Amino acid sequence: MDYLFTEDQKALVDLARKVADDHVRPVAARHDRDGTFPWEVVKVFAETGLFGVVVPELYGGLGLGVLELALVTEELSKACGGITLALAASALGMFPLLLSGNDEQKQRYLPDLAAGKYLAGFGLTEANAGSDAGAMRTRAVREGDDYVLNGAKVFITNGGTAHLYTVIAVTDPKRGSRGTTAFLVQDDFPGFKVGKHEDKMGIRASATAEIVFEDCRVPAANRIGREGEGFLIAMKTLDKSRPGVAAQALGIAQGAFDLAVEYAKTRRQFGKPIASLQAIQFLLADMAVAIESARALLYQTARHIDAGNKDVARWSAMSKLCASEVAMQVTTDAVQIFGGYGYMRDYPIEKLMRDAKITQIYEGTNQIQRAVIGNSYVKG
Ligand code: COS
C-alpha cells in the first residue's frame, strides 16, 4: 500500500524500523520482565536524532510534524510499546513548550531535548483529577520572581527519568480550569521530588511515577504562556499527542498480527498448518481490516493536524479511540490464535495484549474520547 509518503518520510520509517529491529526488539522481553528502564535504547534514539522529530530545525530538531512522529512511534511500537514511550512521552512533555513557550524558553530547553540529552514528561493527572483534569489541586503561588508549587501529579510517564516536566497547576482557585497555569519544572529545582514508582500490567519498560512538589520554587521565567492558560495548553497538547497513542496502539496491533500470521503458518493441527483453516483466516482477515482502517484514520488525522486545520480535537480523539480499540481486539485475537501457548510468558504475544490495554486508558480514557467526539458535533 502506498501511503503517499515523501522520500524523506520513507527514509525516516526505514531508520525507525532499523532501530526497532536492532535495538528495541532484542531487549523488549527483558525490560518487560524486569520492569527496567531502557537507558541503552534511549541512547540510540538520541544518537539517531529521533528525539528531535517534532522540534523545529532552529532548535536542533528535524522540524517535522505529528505524521512523522506517528510513523516513528508506530515502527518502534511494533517492537515494544513500552520502550517507545521514552520517546513518545518526551514529545508529549515538549508539546506545551512547542505550542506556547517563548523563544527564550525554547532556546534554553529544546536543543538538549531534541538531542536526547535528557527526557521530558507531562504533569496533568492527579490522584483525584483523572478524566476530570480540570479538578486538579496542585497549587502555584507567585512569590516575587518565583512561583511556589505544592501538590502531586500521578502516573507520570518518564517520571523519575525525565529532567524537565511541563506541569499544570492552579494559580487562581476561584476560576476552575481557567485558573490553571503551565510551568516548566526541572527535576533539580528545590522542593521537587519523585514519589511512588508504579508496578504496571503492561508497558513495563516505561517508567511511571508520581512527582511531588513541596514548596517547589519555579522561576516565573519558566511559566508557559499567561496565567490562566494552563488547561487550554493541556488540551491543545493532548490534541497533538493523542495520535501518538494511536500510533503506539497501531504498532502494537501490527506487531501482534505479524506474529499471529507467522505462528499460524507454522503451527500444525489436524495434519496441516492452522493458517489453512477458515476459522483462523477469518480471524486474520478481521484483524487486518481493523488495522488498516485504524492506520488510514491515523495518517489522515496527522496530516489534518499538520495542515493546521480546525476540529483537531475531534480527529485526534477519533484516531486514538479507533486505534486503541483495534489494538485490544487484535492482540486478544492474536493470543487466541496462539492458543494455550499464547497465554504463556514463554511466547511474546501475551505482552502485546498487556501493552495494548493502556492505550484505551491513558491520554484520556476512550469514554473521554467519545465525549470529545460527540461534543464536537453538538456544541454550538
Ligand atoms: N482545544 C481548545 N479548547 C479546548 C479544548 C481543546 N481541545 N478542550 C476544551 N477546551 C476549552 C473549552 O472550549 C472550554 O473553553 P471555555 O471555558 O471558553 O468554554 C474549556 O476548555 C473547558 O472545556 P470543557 O468545559 O470541555 O472542560 P471539562 O472540564 O468539561 O473537561 C475534558 C473536558 C473532559 C475533555 C478534559 O477534562 C479531558 O480531556 N479530560 C481527560 C484528561 C486526559 O486526557 N488525561 C490524560 C492524562 S494526560 S497524559
Q: How far apart are CA 29 and CA 378, in angstroms?
A: 45
Q: What is the spatial distance between Cα 238 and Cα 312, in angstroms, rounded to a whole number?
A: 10
Q: Is the pTM of this model over 0.85?
A: yes
Domain finish residue from 179, 210, 227:
227
Residue to mutate, 94, 155, 232, 310, ligand 1, most ligand atoms under 8 Å from C-beta: 232
Residues annotated as part of the active site: 363
Question: Is residue 2 in a domain?
Answer: no
For CA atoms 101, 103, 104, 110, the dihedral sign is positive
Whether 368 is in the pocket of ligand 1, judged by its Cβ within 6 Å, is yes
Ligand 1 atom at shortest distance from the alpha carbon of 234 = 48
Residue with the smallest CA separation from ligand 1 atom 14 is 232
Helix/strand number for the chain, H first, E second: 11, 10
CB atoms within 10 A of CB 49: 17
DSSP letter string over 190-234? TTEEEEEEP--SS-TTS-EEEEEEEEEEEEGGGEESSTT-HHHHH
Query: How many folded domains does the chain comprise?
Result: 3
Among 54, 86, 114, identify where a domain stops. Answer: 114
Per-residue pLDDT band for 2 (boundaries 50, 70, 90) equals: confident
Mean local confidence (pLDDT), 45-73: 98
Q: Do 156 and 32 fall within a single domain?
A: no
Cβ contacts of residue 40 below 8 Å, gap of 6+?
Answer: 23, 27
Range of the domain at 167: 120-227
Query: Residue 211 Cα, ligand 1 centroid: separation in angstroms?
Result: 23
* 3-class DSSP assignment, residue 362: coil
pLDDT at 380 over 80: no
With cell 512527582, the residue in question is 211
| Nearest atom in ligand 1 to 372's CA | 35
Q: Is the pLDDT of residue 31 over 90?
A: yes
Say whether both 237 and 264 belong to one domain: yes
Q: Where residue 250 sits, what CATH number does that domain have?
A: 1.20.140.10
pLDDT in tens, 271-324: 999 999 999 999 999 999 999 999 999 999 999 999 999 899 999 999 999 999
Do both 236 and 368 map to the same domain?
yes
Distance in angstroms (rounded) separating the CA atoms of residues 79 and 76 = 6
- Picking from 49, 81, 114, the residue at the C-terminal end of a domain is 114
Average pLDDT, integer, range 40-49: 98
What average pLDDT does this structure show over 168-176? 98
Please say if the pLDDT value at position 4 is more than 90.
Answer: no
3-state secondary structure of 11: helix
DSSP 247-303: HHHHHHHHHHHHHHHHHHHH-EETTEEGGGSHHHHHHHHHHHHHHHHHHHHHHHHHH
Q: Calculate what percentage of the chain has a pLDDT beyond 70.
A: 100
Q: What is the pLDDT of residue 1?
A: 76
Taking residues 246-250, report their average pLDDT. Answer: 99
Same domain, 337 and 205: no
